[in-house]
Structure 1
Amino acid sequence: MLIIGVLALQLGFITSYIGAFHQPKPTDIPLAVTAPTTAAAERAVRELAALPGDPLDPSAAPDEATARARIARRDVDGALILSPAGPDRLLVASASGASLADALTAVVARAEKARGRTVDVVDVVPDAPGDARGLTSFYLVVGWCVGGYLCAAVLAISAGARPANPARGLIRLAVLLLYAIVTGLLGAVIAGPVLDALPGSVPALWGLGTLLVFAVGALTLALQGLAGIIGIGLAILLVVVLGNPSAGGAYPYPLLPPFWRAIGPALPPGAGTYAARSIAYFRGNGALGPMLVISAWAVGGAAVTMVCAVLRRRATERESPHGAAATAATAAPGSGPGPGA
C-alpha cells in the first residue's frame, strides 16, 4: 500500500506540474487604463474587455499617477496610458513575474496593432539584477516549505509519527518553532545580503520565513497525528504536488489554468511567494492577505497536532487499566498452575 501511495504521488506530481505549465494562457490580467478624457478611457476599457479569450480585466483610472499607485499596491499588474499624439505607453511590473509582464505586453501590443497604434513598454517595478525572471522569491519559499515538512518528518521518524501525549506534542511544536526561526533568518540572509538576489527588508522576510516554515511543519505534524506516517505523503501532496505548481512562481496566477489559479492563493507556497514578492518589491503592499492564509495554516496545524496528542493520551489511559488488571490477575496467588502441575 505504501508503494502504491508513492506511485500515486509520483503520477500526481507529473500531472500537476505539466497540467499547470504546459500551456500558459493569459486570463483576466488586471490592467488600469487612462486617457485624456473619461469617455476615451471607458471606450478603451470596453474594447480591451471584449478581446477573445478574456486575456485582460481592464478598468479605468483617472490619471497616470493613480494607475502607477494601483500597480504599487498590487491592485493591477499593469497600466495602459493612452496618448492622442501617440505612441501609447504600457506600464508593467516585471517584479511580479517576468512571464506575466511578457504576456501582458504581447496581448496589449496585438490589441494596439489592431487599432493601428503602437505602444512603448515601461517597466516601473523591475526585478533586481540578481533576480533572474523574478524567480528568487519562489525558490526561497520552496526551500522554506521543504524545510518545514522535512523537520516534521524527521521528528516522526525519530520519535514516532504520533506524539504520545500533549507534552510530547508541545515539545515537537517548540522544536519546530526554533527550527523555523533559525531557517527563516538564514534563508532571508542567503537570498538577500549573501547572494544579492532579493531586495527588501531582511527582518520582514525573516518573519515571513519563520511563519511559513512553522506553518508547513505544523501542517505535516497535524497530518501525521491524523494518519500516522502516511501524513508525510499527504503533506507532500498538498505542499509539493498541488502547492508548488500553483504558487505563481514560474507563471503567476493569471497565466495558470483555472484549477491551479483557484487553489494557489490558499496554499502555503502560493501565499508565501506572493508575500515574498510584495515584501521585496512593493513595500509590503498586498502581503497581509497571504500572511493571514499562512497564519491560518500554522494555527490550524498546531491545534490539530495538540488535539491528536490529547486523544491519543486518552486512548492510552482507557487501555491501560485492562492491561494492569490482566497483569494483576496473572500475578495473583493461586492464579497459575498448582504445585503438582
Structure 2
Amino acid sequence: MTSPTAPPAEAETPVGTQRRAWISLVLTGLIIGTAFIAVYVGLQRDPAPSRLPIAVVGDELATTAHRGFGDAVAVTPVASVDAGKALVHDGDSVAVLSGTSPGTLTLDYAGASGFSESGAARQLVAGLGRQAHMTVQENDIVPLASYDSRGLSAFYVVFGVTLSSFVLAQGLTAAATLVRLRHRLWAMGGFAVVIGVVAATVAGPVYGSLTAPFPLLALSLILLSAASAFTTKALGAWLGPIGIALAVLTLTTIGNATSGATIGVDLLPGWAQAISAKLPPGAAVRAVNNFGYFNGSHTLAPLGVLAAWFLAGLGLVLLRQRTAQRRPLAAEAGR
C-alpha cells in the first residue's frame, strides 16, 4: 500500500511538456528584455529634430529660417509675435522666433513641450543666430510645473498606470478558471477608476507635478488604465501566453518608449512618430500635457484613442467568451 505522505509520482507530468513550458517562458523573457533595452536605448542614441514646428514672424525671417533650418524645422510664418505665441500656448508650435530689434533674435518657447523639443529649438535658433551674427534672447512662456523640473512626471505616471493595469489583467487572465468573467471585467473597470483617481491625486494636488485640472487628469488616467487592462485581457484570451507577451511589447515597452514623454515626438524616428499617438501611453501623455499646459487643445483625439482601445479590448473579450460557449453546443448538436 502506498503511504499517504508519499510524494506524487514524477511520471504524472511528461518531461517533454516540462521542458517546453520553461523553454517558452525563458525565450519570452529574453525577447521582452531584449526588445525593452533595444527600443529604449536605441531611441536615446542620437535623437534629431524632424519637422520641429516653429512659428516665425515675418516673411523675410521665415525665408531665412527655412533656408537655415532645412528639414529639421517646419516653419510656420505668422504676422505677429502675438499670433506666434497663440500657437505656442495651444501646443501647435514649440516656439515663436522674431526679430524684435536690429541684430537680435527673440525666441519665445514652451519649456512644457519637453526638454528635448524645447532644447532642440533653442539649439537650432542659437546656431542660426551665430550664422547671422545676431544675439538671441530667450523667454520660456509655457514653463514646466515647478515640481516637475525635468518634465518626466507624465512619463512616470503613465508608465505606472500602464504597468499596474497590465499586471492586474495578466493575473486575472491566469485566474480565469477561478474567477467568473463578469467579476474579472468589474475588477478591471473598478481598478481603472481607483488607480486613475489615486494617480491623479498623488501627481496633481499632493505633489503638484502635473498641472492638468484634477477631473480631466483623472479621466485621462482612468481611460489609460482601462485601455491597458482590457487590451491585455483580450490578447491573453485569444492568444494565451503569446498574447500577454505581445501586450508587454505593445503597451509597456514600445508604447511608453515612443510616448513623447522622454524624447519629444518630433525627435523620434519616422516609425516611432507614426505609432506614438496611436498607442495608449502616447495618447495619455498628450492628453495629460495638453490639459495641463496647452489650454486643453487637441485633447479629443487622444481621449478617443484611449476609449477605442478600451472598447476594442472589451469587445474582443466578450466575443471570445461567446465563441467559447458556442463550441460545446455545436459539438453536442453534431453527435
Same fold, judged at TM 0.5 (above): yes
Confirm whether residue 133 of structure 1 aligns to residue 145 of structure 2. Answer: no
Correspondence list, 1:106-145, <5 A: 106-145=123-162
The runs of 5 or more residues in structure 1 that have no matched partner are 35-40, 326-341
Q: Deviations along 1:282-330, whole A, 9 cap, x unmatched? A: 23112221111111111111111111111111113334568xx7xxxxx
Which of 134, 149, 160 aligns to 2:166? It is 149
**1:5 partner amino acid:** T
Which of 246, 249, 253 aligns to 2:265? It is 253
3-state DSSP class of the match of 1:144? Answer: helix
Confirm whether residue 241 of structure 1 aligns to residue 249 of structure 2. Answer: no
Separation in structure 1 between the aligned mates of residue 80 and residue 44 of structure 2, nearest angstrom: 36
Q: Deviations along 1:23-56, whole A, 9 cap, x unmatched? A: 111111101011xxxxxx2232233223466211
After TM superposition, give the deviation of residue 261 of structure 1 in Å: 1.8
Q: Deviations along 1:161-209, whole A, 9 cap, x unmatched? A: 9x9xxxx444322221111001100000000122222222111111111
Q: Which residue of 2 aligns with 1:197?
A: 209
Separation in structure 1 between the aligned mates of residue 233 and residue 328 of structure 2, nearest angstrom: 20
Larger Rg: 1
**1:22 partner amino acid:** R
| 8 Å Cα contact 1:200-1:283 kept in structure 2 | no
3-state DSSP class of the match of 1:27? Answer: coil
After TM superposition, give the deviation of residue 57 of structure 1 in Å: 0.5
Confirm whether residue 312 of structure 1 aligns to residue 324 of structure 2. Answer: yes
**1:277 partner amino acid:** N
Q: Deviations along 1:55-114, whole A, 9 cap, x unmatched? A: 111111111111111111111111102224342210111111122111110001101210
**1:73 partner amino acid:** D
Confirm whether residue 88 of structure 1 aligns to residue 111 of structure 2. Answer: no
Q: Which residue of 2 aligns with 1:293?
A: 305
| 8 Å Cα contact 2:69-2:124 kept in structure 1 | no
Q: Which residue of 1 aligns with 2:75?
A: 58
Separation in structure 1 between the aligned mates of residue 59 and residue 246 of structure 2, nearest angstrom: 48
Correspondence list, 1:138-217, <5 A: 138-160=155-177, 168-217=180-229
Matched residues, percent identical? Answer: 30
Mark the CA change 1:160 to 1:89 in structure 2 (over 3 Å): closer, same or farther.
farther
Which of 47, 63, 74 aligns to 2:64? It is 47
Mark the CA change 1:52 to 1:96 in structure 2 (over 3 Å): closer, same or farther.
closer
**2:39 partner amino acid:** S
Separation in structure 2 between the aligned mates of residue 284 and residue 256 of structure 1, nearest angstrom: 24
Q: Which residue of 1 aligns with 2:11?
A: none
Separation in structure 2 between the aligned mates of residue 314 and residue 112 of structure 1, nearest angstrom: 70
Separation in structure 1 between the aligned mates of residue 66 and residue 149 of structure 2, nearest angstrom: 31
List, as ranges, runs of 4+ consecutive aligned residues in structure 1 with deviation greater than 6 Å. none
Separation in structure 1 between the aligned mates of residue 65 and residue 53 of structure 2, nearest angstrom: 11
The runs of 5 or more residues in structure 2 that have no matched partner are 1-23
Q: Which residue of 2 aligns with 1:264?
A: 276
Mark the CA change 1:113 to 1:92 in structure 2 (over 3 Å): closer, same or farther.
same
3-state DSSP class of the match of 1:133? Answer: coil
| 8 Å Cα contact 2:52-2:73 kept in structure 1 | yes
| 8 Å Cα contact 1:204-1:279 kept in structure 2 | yes
Separation in structure 1 between the aligned mates of residue 285 and residue 213 of structure 2, nearest angstrom: 15
After TM superposition, give the deviation of residue 157 of structure 1 in Å: 2.0
Q: Which residue of 2 aligns with 1:27?
A: 50
TM-score (norm 1): 0.87
| 8 Å Cα contact 2:235-2:247 kept in structure 1 | yes
| 8 Å Cα contact 1:200-1:281 kept in structure 2 | yes
3-state DSSP class of the match of 1:148? Answer: helix
Separation in structure 2 between the aligned mates of residue 191 and residue 66 of structure 1, nearest angstrom: 32
| 8 Å Cα contact 1:156-1:229 kept in structure 2 | no
3-state DSSP class of the match of 2:150? Answer: helix
After TM superposition, give the deviation of residue 128 of structure 1 in Å: 0.9
TM-score (norm 2): 0.88
After TM superposition, give the deviation of residue 263 of structure 1 in Å: 1.3
Confirm whether residue 220 of structure 1 aligns to residue 258 of structure 2. Answer: no
| 8 Å Cα contact 1:48-1:111 kept in structure 2 | yes
Separation in structure 2 between the aligned mates of residue 170 and residue 159 of structure 1, nearest angstrom: 11
Matched residues, number = 312
**2:235 partner amino acid:** L
